[in-house]
Amino acid sequence: MSGRVAGKKALITGAAGGLGQAMARMLVREGAQVALSDIDGDRAAALAASINADTPNSAFAYAHDVTSEADWVRVVDQAVTDMGGLSVLVNNAGIGGNLVFAEQDTLENWRKVQAVNLESVMLGCKHALPHLKAAPAASIVNISSIAGLAAAPGMGAYNATKAAVWLYTKTVALECAKAGGTVRANSVHPVFINTPILDPFIAMAGGSTEAAHERLARGIPLKRIGDPDDVAYCVLYLASDESRFVTGSEFKIDGGMTAQ
């Protein structure tokens, strides 16, 4: 299995922890270089240092506000300089927003979730694509959610952004195919994964992580929530040339939840 993404150069947003950290470590283990961007630049730098301690010159880190177009220009240009190119973009940065019903939602909350979860994906694709097109084979992986395919009460802003990422990814995939087919784009749709995004559910369970995970797992046929590596393995496949004929598709990492 070694070297599945050997020579690939990947930019991962929201990479300091959770899913992003799992993706970064897995891609490096399989031969890629990674550029780690995060709003918390110190944590991203610490992760890069940890990765480089085992695999020198494999990881670079940048503080990055994904809602800022100027930051996107700076980070993409620096990543291309540091790695000598760009062949994979993983738009992973995201927030859950507030669990609130439509009548109580605020425009401030709505716009914040839109900016982080959706506008950042557009900005990433816009500024990475010229560099991705220069690579012999390139891949865009946009992290959506099962919540982008199936709605839930109290999650209007989050549902809306993740659904938009799903369809936007298909548009980008078709545009890239029409332009010559060297860049592919796909979306990944996890269900509940053991990351800090579950903190609101833990709070609702009185602060008990075990109780929250047990409650969330009841609706999943495999009867557990996911691990970050469950998502990272899918990203690894999509970043690799193993998926060279796969574009405009959505990948559900949901333990069978949407099969019911």
Per the CB < 8 A criterion, the answer to whether 190 and 254 are in contact is yes
* Dist CA 153 CA 155 (whole Å): 6
Catalytic residue among 62, 158, 168, 237: 158
Query: Is 233 assigned a catalytic role?
Result: no
* Dist CA 234 CA 193 (whole Å): 14
Give which of 195, 162, 166, 191 is closest to 257, Cα–Cα: 191
If 0-12 CB within 10 Å is exposed, 13-18 middle and 19+ buried, where does residue 191 land? buried
Please give the structure tokens belonging to residue 58.
Answer: 């494999």
Give, as one character, the DSSP assignment of residue 109: H
* Dist CA 169 CA 165 (whole Å): 6
Per the CB < 8 A criterion, the answer to whether 169 and 142 are in contact is yes
Q: Which amino acid is at 63?
A: A
Residues 6+ apart with CB under 8 A from 53: none
The catalytic site residues sit at 158
